Amino acid sequence: MKTIKKNIYTSLALCMSLAFFLSCSEIDNQEIPIAKTAYEYFVEISGIPRCTGNEKAASNYLAEFGRVRGFEVFQDEMFNVLMRKNGSKGREHEPPIILQAHIDMVCKKDNNVIHDFEKDPIIPVVNDDWITAEKRTTLGADNGGGLSMIMAVLASHHISHPPIEALFTTQEETGLHGADFFDVSLLNGQRLINLDMIGEEAFVVSSKWDDGPDLVIPILARFALPDWPYKADSPLRDTMAEVFRSFYGKEPVLAGINNRVAGVECLVFANKMPNADMISIGVDIMDIHTPYERMSLSSLNRVYDYLVQVLEVL
């Protein structure tokens, strides 16, 4: 085992010296880590401090996650991470899909709780269906839920999917800064699924528009956010809605995010990638950004299963 591990890291070092993008096909025949569930990856990422502005360790963890699996990995100066996974057998040449979530989390705790967010792990516990932090702190389900689902997709050897570009961004909570900094010319895909919503039954498809419901997610600071125009023609939305009807037996709720008081990175990407087809979905999370934050485990599992079905038919 030690010899195998040493060989993997030797190969990784060679990859790092060859290119800014890290194509590590030479480790394909080495031991690849066993795929885990979305919740197991959520527990892993929760063990790494990742308050906004302190994402380096979590970013490095994600980059290494991709490298040991032979993915092409890029990490920029703001610790945004992009990794590419080839399409499954027979789907290698299909248009890629972008799966996107942010790394950072809001860090708050009750006054009487002893917890150092710079170094102490957050330990998730499950009570009935609800995942909370062991101590009275924020859980980091925003956006650890999205991160963990994407990781589970990337790690799986059995999912049918087109080529995947997984984009993990930083400093979302204080102004979408990582997304704003990221060089979108590195992306080949023109379809993007953001996994940063807080309601399982809502499709967020634009900024607020007159004929649709409004969805508000609190942010730490008020700042000017760009518009995300509603697209009347959205093949991605139509496909995901069709899968939703089959999976849930009902219609999804189409919503617009109120960009006067809330943010999601699709607002930035809509400005930088005006032709992209985008949608934002997520898991049931309660009391977001507070020490009482909690996430539904069954919702996490359902949304992951739904996402897998979407990838199968895109």
Respond yes or no: is residue 214 known to be catalytic.
no
How many beta carbons lie within 10 A of that of residue 281, not counting itself? 24
Among residues 55, 72, 142, 172, the one annotated as catalytic is 172
State the distance between the two ends of the chain, measured CA to CA, in whole angstroms: 39
Whether 69 and 43 have beta carbons less than 8 Å apart is answered as no
DSSP per-residue codes, 13-43: HHHHHH-SSB--GGGTTSPPPPP--HHHHHH
Among residues 55, 72, 104, 293, the one annotated as catalytic is 104
Whether 113 and 137 have beta carbons less than 8 Å apart is answered as yes
CB-neighbour burial class of residue 235 (10 A; exposed 0-12, middle 13-18, buried 19+):
exposed
DSSP per-residue codes, 68-134: TTT-EEEE-TT--EEEEEPPPTT-TTSPPEEEEEE--B---B-TT----TTTPPP-EEEETTEEEES
Whether 192 and 240 have beta carbons less than 8 Å apart is answered as no
Q: Which of 15, 16, 37 is nearest to 301 (CA)?
A: 37
Respond yes or no: is residue 110 known to be catalytic.
no
Which residues are known catalytic residues?
A: 104, 172
